[in-house]
Amino acid sequence: MTTTDVVQLLYLAASALFILGLQSMGKADTARRGVRFAEVGMLLAVVGTLLHHEIISYHWIAISIVIGSAIGTAMGLFIPMVKMPERIALSHAFGGLAVALVGVSEYVRHGAHAPMLTIAAIGLEVFLGALTFTGSLMAFGKLQGVITGKPLTYPGQNASNLLALAVALAGVAYVVANPSAATVFYVVLGLGFVLGVLLVLPIGGADMPVVICLLNAYAGLAAAATGFALGNNVLIICGALDGGSGIILGLMMSKAMNRSFRNVVFGAVGSAPAAAAAAAGPGAAPTSSANVGSLEDAAAVLASARSVIIVPGYGMAVSQAQHVVRDLANALAAGGAEVRYAIHPVAGRMPGHMNVLLAEANVPYEQLFDLDAINDDFGSTDVAIVVGANDVVNPAAKTQPNSPIFGMPVLAVDQARTAICFKRSFNPGFAGIENELFTKPSTMMVLGDAKKSLAELVQAVKSEAKLAA
């Protein structure tokens, strides 16, 4: 067996593992296994690439592996979970830049003599890679607050963006016909960099996670183009998987957030939730009409509860309250209550955010229920405990047509006999709007940091149980 055969076999095994990995990640109980499959697949792909006959010196590769591993390990260890969208945006930026640089290097090495199909692939690769690089940096800047999260629009924006896109594609076609036209090739690269900025400018910070999914798809398509340019099968398969899954995830998130995918893609066409929120009215609810309770009050209500649904939200992630949430669930279950968790598809700040945190706290998967599976049960539930969730439990999504979240499916916490909401204040959530759930007579607000409040509540629940025994 030749080295080329070994490389192709490794690539085949890697591709199969990526597909198995993606499939396993679709279910909570097999997700960890899916990540392992993908990790092994990536290792095989890297080993296969290192065996490539064209590599004549490992010197720079070794240095790059050390630097890349150091940065990747530090990012994995030190970037908190709540900053995951920003981290993903940065990863995409680096991926896009790498793809663009590989394309430039291929053009410099073989450009003038490469077959037409290869030149076309290189042209698309550098364009999409450059666009992903600056687009992802813009998304990172907006999420991080370095650049304003407000949509930046100007007259003729969509028309000028479409013109730039048409010029870039015409440039690729020109280079395919005249492979030695290096200037045109670099104009295509430059247009990619500029369009990345221009396409993300008109999109509000609220839509950034959907944009990141889209940039993920662009990066995947760019990687697939690289695969065609280099004749590398694993890159073609991996890029296609990345591109396809990015688009599917973007579509799913738009649906769950009740945002039009077309508006997100073409920016400027629609308004971001923040802008709509301003039109919808003030954010903070009047505290005077709310029923603010103490931890003792909450413990007393829970003492007689037979059915409890816990609704985690972004505040649980901020406060890192997942472990104490599990302790509370255990204490209530020990007292005879049936405890379940209701997981909204966009609770938190990234898909699966709540599932990841609760899995980290060893909450059994069987206790987690998706919105569709549990929403009808709130009406027959004694207590709904809301831990740092706001938009995903806001009844305005069902009742107020002018609300920016109108139409978004929300958890029917307002239907429970009693709702106990843990948050620090009456401040609004991500969408920046008032939540009438917090002023309903059947709602008790317990103000304070979720982790601190729940830790004390667990003790209070245990004391109540001892008194009752």
Q: CA-to-CA distance for 402 and 326, rounded, in angstroms?
A: 37
Question: Contact between 211 and ligand NAP (CB under 6 A)?
Answer: no
Applying CB under 6 A, which part among 54-62, 136-144, 148-156, 421-429 lies near ligand NAP?
A: 421-429
Q: CA-to-CA distance for 75 and 121, rounded, in angstroms?
A: 32
In sequence order, the 6+-apart residues with CB closer than 8 A to the CB of 132 are 92, 93, 95, 96, 99, 196, 215, 218, 219, 222
Question: Contact between 270 and ligand NAP (CB under 6 A)?
Answer: no
Tell me which of 34, 227, 315, 335 binds ligand NAP, using CB under 6 A: 315
In sequence order, the 6+-apart residues with CB closer than 8 A to the CB of 57 are none
Tell me which of 222, 337, 346, 384 binds ligand NAP, using CB under 6 A: 346
Question: Contact between 204 and ligand NAP (CB under 6 A)?
Answer: no
Cβ 446 to ligand NAP, closest distance in Å?
10
Q: Which residue has the tokens 């505290």?
A: 287
Applying CB under 6 A, which part among 40-48, 64-72, 194-202, 427-435 lies near ligand NAP?
A: 427-435
Nearest CB to ligand NAP, comparing residues 45 and 285 = 285
Q: How many residues bind ligand NAP (CB under 6 A)?
A: 30
Cβ 117 to ligand NAP, closest distance in Å?
38
In 231-265, where does DSSP find H-type helix? 233-256, 261-265
Question: Contact between 391 and ligand NAP (CB under 6 A)?
Answer: yes
Question: Contact between 218 and ligand NAP (CB under 6 A)?
Answer: no
Locate 58 and state its tokens: 């490992």
Applying CB under 6 A, which part among 14-22, 58-66, 145-153, 386-394 lies near ligand NAP?
A: 386-394
Question: Contact between 431 and ligand NAP (CB under 6 A)?
Answer: yes
Tell me which of 424, 436, 442, 455 binds ligand NAP, using CB under 6 A: 424
Q: Which residue has the tokens 């183009």?
A: 225
Nearest CB to ligand NAP, comparing residues 242 and 391 = 391
Count Cβ atoms below 10 Å from residue 384 Cβ, excluding itself: 30
Q: Which residues are catalytic?
A: 391
Nearest 5°: phi and psi at 149? -80, -5
Tell me which of 310, 339, 389, 461 binds ligand NAP, using CB under 6 A: 389
Q: CA-to-CA distance for 451 and 229, rounded, in angstroms?
A: 52
Question: Contact between 103 and ligand NAP (CB under 6 A)?
Answer: no
* Residue whose Cβ sits closest to ligand NAP: 429
Locate 205 and state its tokens: 């910070």
Sketch the per residue contact string, 347 through 366, with ligand NAP: x for CB under 6 A, - otherwise: xxxxx-x-------------
Q: Are the C-beta atoms of residues 127 and 193 closer than 8 Å to each other?
A: no
SS3 at position 257: coil
Tell me which of 37, 140, 193, 430 binds ligand NAP, using CB under 6 A: 430
- For 282-286, the CB contacts below 8 A with 24+ separation are 282/434, 283/427, 283/428, 283/432, 283/433, 283/434, 284/425, 284/426, 284/427, 284/428, 284/434, 285/426, 285/434, 285/435, 285/436, 285/438, 285/439, 286/426, 286/439
Cβ 199 to ligand NAP, closest distance in Å?
19
Question: Contact between 160 and ligand NAP (CB under 6 A)?
Answer: no
Cβ 269 to ligand NAP, closest distance in Å?
19
Give the residues lining the site for ligand NAP (CB under 6 A).
209, 253, 257, 313-315, 318-319, 346-351, 353, 388-392, 422-425, 427, 429-431, 449-450
